[in-house]
Amino acid sequence: MNASEKEGDEFTVEAVVKLDSVDANTELRTLVSRWDGGKGSLESFGWSIDMTGKKSRYKPGNVLMQFVGEDENANIGYQVVASNIHLQVGRRYHLVVRVSSPRREVAFTVLDLDTAGSVAQSAVARMDNLSKLSQGASPVVLGGLGKRNPTRQWDGNIEALRIMLGNQPEKVLNADSAKWKDGLVVWRAADSLGAPFAWSGADSRQDEANDPFRQAMNDLCQMLLNSNEFFYLH
């Protein structure tokens, strides 16, 4: 997803999700990111919201965030901020994460939507003094990282997700995504896909395969490769 405006260093992510599995080892399941997974350049500045695998030292299904940004000494900093709130596989949740770099904290709230009368779990975790969190080269990606990584993809449902500027109060949040009115990014699986969203993965590869220009180029390349007049350099 590409958008001209970015969320900056203080933003709120709200989602309705279901996790179908966690990794058998230590790999993460990424719900949403603006990050390519790198830690060594300005282009890799960003963040992700992830769930931990079975052998993670944070225990399975732990909701956490990863950040890459500029620290107080103008160096590149990396940090993992864990909520110690754990999602159960196969259950629907309303998940809210509020990031505030100026206040150096991340607030997590998780509500089990499959249990009537359930009480939301909340946690506030400290983060380092990192800034320029959205200034990297990666776009916002739902269900993975900016650089395609099969082991980091979400396994389950993302019914709806939105990203809002600032630290949003409870009255703005709603587990019923049909009532969401605005946001920097607003995604609902039930809605038709429109700008600025684009599918990535198998669907996009299939679209490329059906592109007449690409098919013609493939035919030309195959003809040249099979031609007696085509020279191979050794």
> What is the structure's pLDDT at 216?
73
pTM: 0.83
The two three-digit tokens of residue 57, written as one number: 């030292």
* Tens digit of each residue's pLDDT (9 = 90 or more) over 64-94: 999 999 999 999 999 999 999 999 999 999 9
> What is the structure's pLDDT at 222?
59
Q: For position 145, which CATH number holds?
A: 2.60.120
Evaluate whether residue 155 is within a structural domain: yes
- Kindly give, in sequence order, each residue whose CB lies less than 8 Å from that of residue 37, ignoring residues fewer than 6 positions away: 44, 145, 146, 147, 149, 152
* pLDDT exceeds cutoff 90 at 136: yes
CA gap 112, 86 in Å, rounded = 11
> What is the structure's pLDDT at 204?
43
* pLDDT exceeds cutoff 70 at 124: yes
Q: How many domains does the chain have?
A: 1
DSSP E strands: which ranges in the chain? 10-19, 29-34, 46-51, 62-70, 76-86, 92-100, 105-112, 121-126, 141-142, 156-165, 185-188
Please give, one letter per residue, the 3-state secondary structure of 200-222: CCHHHHHHHHCCHHHHHHHHHHH
Helix (H, G, I), strand (E, B) or coil at 187: strand
> What is the structure's pLDDT at 224?
56
> What is the structure's pLDDT at 225?
52
Adjacency order of strands within the sheet including 156-165 = 121-126, 105-112, 92-100, 10-19, 156-165, 185-188
Reported confidence tier of residue 227, pLDDT bands at 50, 70, 90: low
Evaluate whether residue 67 is within a structural domain: yes
Helices (H) and strands (E) in the chain, counts: 2, 11
* Phi, psi angle pair for 171, to nearest 5°: -65, -20
> What is the structure's pLDDT at 233?
47
Evaluate whether residue 134 is within a structural domain: yes
Evaluate whether residue 234 is within a structural domain: no
Instruction: For residue 59, give its domain range.
Output: 10-191
> What is the structure's pLDDT at 2?
57
Helix (H, G, I), strand (E, B) or coil at 152: helix
> What is the structure's pLDDT at 146?
83
- What is the crossing angle of helices 202-209 and 212-225, to 10°? 70
Reported confidence tier of residue 147, pLDDT bands at 50, 70, 90: confident
Selected residue with higher pLDDT from 46 and 208: 46
* Tens digit of each residue's pLDDT (9 = 90 or more) over 5-53: 899 999 999 999 999 999 999 999 999 999 999 999 999 999 999 999 9
CB under 8 Å, gap of 24 or more: what pairs does 166-175 form? Answer: 166/10, 166/11, 166/12, 167/10, 167/12, 167/98, 167/100, 167/107, 168/12, 168/14, 168/98, 173/12, 173/14, 173/96, 175/16, 175/94, 175/111, 175/113
- Average pLDDT over all residues of the chain: 88
Evaluate whether residue 59 is within a structural domain: yes
> What is the structure's pLDDT at 150?
65
Evaluate whether residue 74 is within a structural domain: yes
Single-letter residue type at 41: S
Q: What percent of the chain has pLDDT over 90?
A: 75
Average pLDDT, integer, range 132-156: 88
φ/ψ bin of 225: left (φ > 0), alpha (ψ from -120 to 50), beta (otherwise): alpha
* Tens digit of each residue's pLDDT (9 = 90 or more) over 52-61: 999 999 999 9
Average pLDDT, integer, range 104-129: 97
